[in-house]
Amino acid sequence: MREGRKTRQGAAAVEITGLAGLPEILPGADLPDEILVGVKRHGMALEDRDVVVVAQKIVSKAEGRVVLLADVHPSAAARRMAKEMRKDPRFIEAVLRESKRVVRRSGRVLIVETRHGFVCANAGVDRSNAGADDCVTTLPRDPDGSARRMAAALRRRTGKRVAVIISDTFGRPWRLGLTNVAIGAAGLEVLQDLRGKKDASGQRLRATVLAVADELAAAAGLVLGKLERVPVAVIRGYRYTRAGRRARGARDLIRPAAEDLFR
């Protein structure tokens, strides 16, 4: 059944290391510093072309994107919606403030388009791990900007050019469970376009654009712990394409409204 072995042995190995033991991140925390301390504590040093994946939650906390529910005064619309959904009206208000529009609402599920353009549940507003019971975190205002600043700070302090991805867990319409996706990115092309190239059998590849930043985020998801505090992963050995001049980050992953069949 074999048709001649290739001699090429290229064992493409990618390694993902989770950085455990980071301290609780508070508003104003110096995340690049915390990451470098964590990297060192794991006996590592950042290398050129590493990908540093940072859980959205600690980026939001460091940037002060924490809302005290006690300070939120729900609108009449939020109160009505919350009653129907059996949710805290202050939570719904926090979600609506982060949203451009509601995409779907059913039972207790609220799918919105965030101000950034991401379609996800509750606009990424999240109660878990926010630090206190009556707090929620909201997504960073500009996750691509956050990623760029982190990549720049890491480069200043180490001399290494790494890519940075900020990841969050999103649901999917037809599949159960959450997966990590990139909501912010810097230093790499988030999409790898294979269109027009030929595959191993010489057949032209059609419609093959890989969302590499999302695959990197999902890979990091294997070590990013929700129950243990592992908010950062370092991915080594993945040969990504460095960001070109027109790269804008994870926002390049958002499907334009004109192509969206499921609004």
Q: Which is nearer to a second copy, 140 or 221 (CB)?
A: 221
The one-character DSSP state at 203 is P
CB of 92 to a second copy, least distance (A): 14
d(CA 145, CA 109): 29
CB of 165 to a second copy, least distance (A): 13
Q: Which is nearer to a second copy, 79 or 170 (CB)?
A: 170
Binding mask 143-182 toward a second copy (x if CB under 8 A, else -) reads --------------------------x--xxxxxxxxxx-
Query: Using CB under 8 A, which residues numbered 243 to 262 contact a second copy?
Result: 252-255, 260-262
Q: Site size for a second copy, by CB under 8 A?
A: 100
Query: Using CB under 8 A, which residues numbered 70 to 129 contact a second copy?
Result: 104, 106, 109, 111, 118-119, 121, 127-129
Q: Which is nearer to a second copy, 75 or 179 (CB)?
A: 179
Query: Using CB under 8 A, which residues numbered 179 to 208 contact a second copy?
Result: 179-181, 190-192, 194, 197-201, 203-208
Report which of 162, 169, 102 is spatially closest to residue 139, judged by C-alpha positions.
169
CB of 230 to a second copy, least distance (A): 7
CB of 16 to a second copy, least distance (A): 4
Chain centre to alpha carbon of residue 171:
13
Q: At what angle do helices 143-158 and 31-41 cross, to 10 degrees?
A: 50
Could you give the dihedral angle defined by the CA atoms of residues 154, 189, 177 and 14, in that order, rounded to the nearest 10 degrees? -70
CB of 91 to a second copy, least distance (A): 11
CB of 208 to a second copy, least distance (A): 6
Could you give the dihedral angle defined by the CA atoms of residues 52, 57, 63 and 67, in that order, rounded to the nearest 10 degrees? 170
Q: Which is nearer to a second copy, 76 or 176 (CB)?
A: 176
Q: How many Cβ atoms are within 10 Å of 24's Cβ, its own excluded?
A: 10
Q: Which residues contact 183 (CB under 8 A, 6 or more apart)?
A: 56, 116, 118, 124, 139, 140, 143, 166, 167, 168, 250
DSSP SS3 for 121: strand
Q: Which stretch binds a second copy (CB under 8 A): 17-25, 64-72, 78-86, 92-100?
A: 17-25
Structure tokens at 209: 């654009």
Binding mask 207-236 toward a second copy (x if CB under 8 A, else -) reads xxxxxx-xxx-xx-xxx-xxxxxx----x-
